Amino acid sequence: MERKERPAARFHGRVEANGRPCAQPGCEEPGEFRAPPLEGASDGGPPRFRWMCLDHVRAFNAGYNFFDGMTADEIHNAQRPTAGWERETRAFARAGSGDQGPRWADFHDPLDAIAARYRRETAPERNDGKPLSGQDRASLKVLGLAPDADRAGLRRRYSELVRKFHPDRNGGDRSHEGELQRVIAAYQQLRQAPAFV
């Protein structure tokens, strides 16, 4: 098995320098690894990183102290297991924060994915308003019936499928026994379901 000379960039933080030198004064190596800027975190804009060679970024990381300049109480609060979870994110921020969040009318849904799901979940499944369970829907699918089928349509479809799949009715072909068993089980389940009683 042949080993790679240089690890993949996405696993080790290496970014091609493209002529960018190491930020350490006097170093001629390419700056392929980023480190925080000397002046601290950015002011809300995109982060301005310092780019360093591997040796200098390793030295920087070895001497980096996240808690530098913090008081004992600030360090204790930062090390709590739930630190950071008490702040509301923008998506969950409440009214009065000045940010109401997006309105549904602002969304563009060209594939009708959101609206179609909403219609499917809220639309009545049957004309008579009787509810269907998940098992009812699965059984109707086995029989190839729509959700608003009635008891007579259920019986008629069951008879058609038994004639099609039963060996005594289709010339002795036993290759459809699995489908026949599924049809019988679906019919037995549906004939006792509240929507078909």
User: In the predicted model, is pLDDT for residue 78 greater than 60?
Assistant: yes
How high does pLDDT run on average in the chain?
79
Express as a percent the part of the chain with pLDDT over 90.
22
Phi, psi (rounded to 5 degrees) for 32: -110, -5
Which amino acid type is present at position 59? Answer: A
Q: What is the mean pLDDT of residues 99-126?
A: 64
CA–CA separation, 121 and 125 (whole Å): 9
Q: What is the mean pLDDT of residues 171-179?
A: 84
More confident residue, 58 or 92: 58
User: In the predicted model, is pLDDT for residue 99 greater than 70?
Assistant: no
More confident residue, 189 or 16: 189
Express as a percent the part of the chain with pLDDT over 70.
71
User: In the predicted model, is pLDDT for residue 172 greater than 70?
Assistant: yes
Pair of tokens at residue 188: 């037995």
CA–CA separation, 43 and 193 (whole Å): 63
Q: Is the pTM of this model over 0.85?
A: no
More confident residue, 106 or 24: 24
User: In the predicted model, is pLDDT for residue 94 greater than 80?
Assistant: no
Which amino acid type is present at position 158? Answer: Y
Lowest mean pLDDT among 116-120, 129-133, 184-188: 116-120
User: In the predicted model, is pLDDT for residue 157 greater than 90?
Assistant: yes
